[in-house]
Amino acid sequence: MQSPTVVIGKIRTGRNPRKYFDPVKMAELTESARVEGIIQPILIRPVEEDEHGHEFEVVAGERRYRAAKAAHGVDFPMPVNIKELTDAEADRLALIENVQRADMAPSEEAVSASQIVGQLKGDRDEAARLLGWSRSTLDKRLALMNCSQSVLEALNERKIQLGHAELLATLAKDKQDKLLPVIISEKKPIAELKKTIEAAACSLETAIFDKTDCTSCPHNSSLQTEMFGEAIASGNCTNRACYETKLDAKLQGIAYGLKDEYPIIRIMRAGDNHTRIQLKVDGPTGVGEEQAKACHACQNFGAAVSGLPDSMGKVYSGQCFDTVCNQQKVAARLKAERDAAKAPATKPAPGGKSAAATKGEKSSAAAEKVVTAISESDKVKNYRTDVWRKALRKEVVQNAELANAYLISIALNGLARNIGGDKMGKIFEKLTEQKASSSLQGCLTAVHALDTGKRQQLTVALTVAAIDGMEVSNLRELCRYHKLDLRNHWNLQKSQDFLEMLTKSETKVLADELGIRKVLGDGFAKLFNKSKPEVIAGLLAVDGFDYTGKVPKVLGC
């Protein structure tokens, strides 16, 4: 079956991770395309037509695309496979296709691999599987992301070997650039280089942990290495394992100190370059004001603690760790703004705004579809389930007829198994002031001796016990049927435990959602500059704010 074709003039190049195209090999491929044509189709995807008339974008096969264009011009019918792909999907396919080629430079492999890791939210095992690499190979490639530009150029030009670059990547970039000329001029073998480089990486001068114990440690060396003279600063730790243990403990401590601030805190290592992006409101990478507020409650929003030599221990706040989602939000905002700009100017609409402006605002709102609410973390889900059970129990015990109807429905649906004997025993003891018998005969005798009122109370108790034992999905269904209204049961001022389980960034979103930000005005920012306990105390005592009936969306059923 013959592949479909698209004239080259309608196709543009994509975001190819490969930057270097060997001129000799490209010349050979171009000549082959001139004589033989293009046999294997390239992979393209439809895109929004640009000012040059391009309607498609190359995903895989740019070398063939370039060769065909050079040999036959823009009117050549290019054999293609067309596939609908998002930006992230197209990037991933392009990266994998290029990385799996044998002639790709290690530095290009490193960039490509780090981008894939970013798209997978830092999952290195999955990235290694997609690339067909071992985890060890992936980690070594990612380590190259900490190489200075001069080291990468030397590697690409084969002036140093891959092993040299991997060792140099453990140092700060300024030290890499000092050592590189020495390595090249003296042609130092990797084996000879390894010991000195590893020692140099353990610099006590730049260490961020407490070095009190290091001053008298026998592993604290002030000797200059013969190999590099003044190139490496003195004062290194020769016990690498101890050094790295202290360093890791310090980084973990910094991360732990931020746990009340953000839902997620990550220590960034070499190769994690594309696993995070700074959350911005405006500009080419901005998600928009409303979306940015919502992002503060996302479980992928947080802070990064650098574990890299040049910025060890530095904290980067306001980071998004779902770069694919971030790109989608940015694209939605930019598209909404373009649509608003294209809208024709017309007569003012009611309220003084032009129809074009109104249309633009609607487009922006439709594109963003922002839901500003606390995200459903496991701890929030558990809290919410407890709130549902407590509220539903309270309403059911006040209506014996309704409780009986629910009990029959629960039994008909096979959910009576959720009624725990221990739970009923405790309720029986509380209502009758006698312990339930361990035998059926004893239970029959005890219940038969009760008056009608007590037996009716125990029937209601069966429903309560069933509610307590229900799986969450069935509980939600019952709450929705019951039309449970938590405004009668939940109040922020009596729910400090709920605020304590949230981070400050999530609490900020809650304050937005409930309208507290608006009441606080300029005091909002001042409040959130304080510690978490002070923030909670402040949110529970806002002058002029009516807490009645204010329930977060995340608690709804």
Instruction: Compute CA 475 distance to the chain's CA centroid, rounded to the nearest angstrom.
Output: 30
Asked whether 533 and 500 are in contact (CB, 8 A), the reply is no
- pLDDT computed for residue 350 by the predictor: 54
CATH topology of domain 5-94: 3.90.1530
Q: How far apart are CA 245 and CA 210, in angstroms?
A: 12
The count of other CB atoms within 10 Å of the CB of residue 438 is: 9
**What percent of the chain shows pLDDT beyond 70?**
90
What pLDDT shows up at residue 417? 85
Q: What is the mean pLDDT of residues 400-414?
A: 92
Q: Environment class of residue 148 by beta-carbon count within 10 Å: exposed (0-12), middle (13-18) or buried (19+)?
A: buried
DSSP H helix total and E strand total for the chain: 25, 11
Confidence of residue 521 (pLDDT cuts 50, 70, 90): very high
Residue 357 has pLDDT above 50, yes or no: no
> CA torsion 107→113→118→123, rounded to 10°?
-140
Q: Tell me the C-alpha distance between 257 and 253, whole Å.
A: 6
Residue 512 in tokens: 């937005």
pLDDT for 414 beyond 70? yes
Per-residue tokens: 419: 């009624």
Residue 421 — very low, low, confident or very high, per pLDDT cuts 50/70/90? Answer: confident
Distance separating alpha carbons of residues 499 and 506, to the nearest angstrom: 9
Catalytic residue among 62, 108, 166, 261: 62
What average pLDDT does the chain have?
86
> 126 vs 226, which has greater pLDDT?
126
| Beta-bridge partner residues of 306 | 268
CB-neighbour burial class of residue 137 (10 A; exposed 0-12, middle 13-18, buried 19+): middle
- How do the domains of the chain map onto residue ranges? 5-94, 166-256, 267-372, 378-484, 492-555
For 311-356, write each residue's pLDDT tens digit.
Answer: 999 999 999 999 989 989 999 999 999 888 887 655 555 555 554 4
Q: What is the pLDDT of residues 534-554, one digit of tens each?
A: 999 999 999 999 999 999 999
Q: Where are the beta strands (DSSP E) in 307-391?
A: 315-320
Q: Give the C-alpha separation, 138 to 134, whole Å.
A: 6
Using alpha carbons, list the distances in angstroms from residue 466 to 33, 338, 388, 418, 463. 74, 55, 13, 5, 5
Percent of the chain with pLDDT over 90: 54
Q: Is 36 a catalytic residue?
A: no
Average pLDDT over residues 116-131: 90
Query: What pLDDT is recorded for position 233?
Result: 42
Cα distance between the two ends of the chain: 53
User: How confident is residue 228, by pLDDT bands cut at 50, 70 and 90?
Assistant: very low
Q: Give the pLDDT confidence score for residue 367 in this predicted structure.
A: 42
Is the pLDDT at 141 greater than 70, yes or no? yes
pLDDT tens readout for residues 430-457: 888 888 888 999 889 988 888 888 888 8
Q: In terms of residues, how long is the chain? A: 557
Pairing, β 42-46 against β 56-60: antiparallel
Round to whole Å and give the CA distance between 498 and 492.
8
Banded model confidence at residue 88, pLDDT cuts 50, 70, 90: confident
Q: Is the pTM of this model over 0.75?
A: no
Per-residue confidence (pLDDT) for residue 17, from 0 to 100: 64
Beta bridge partners of 277: 320
**Distance between CA atoms of 440 and 459, rounded to whole angstroms?**
17
**What angle (nearest 5°) sits at the alpha carbon of residue 453, between those of residues 448 and 458?**
70
Rg (CA), the chain: 32
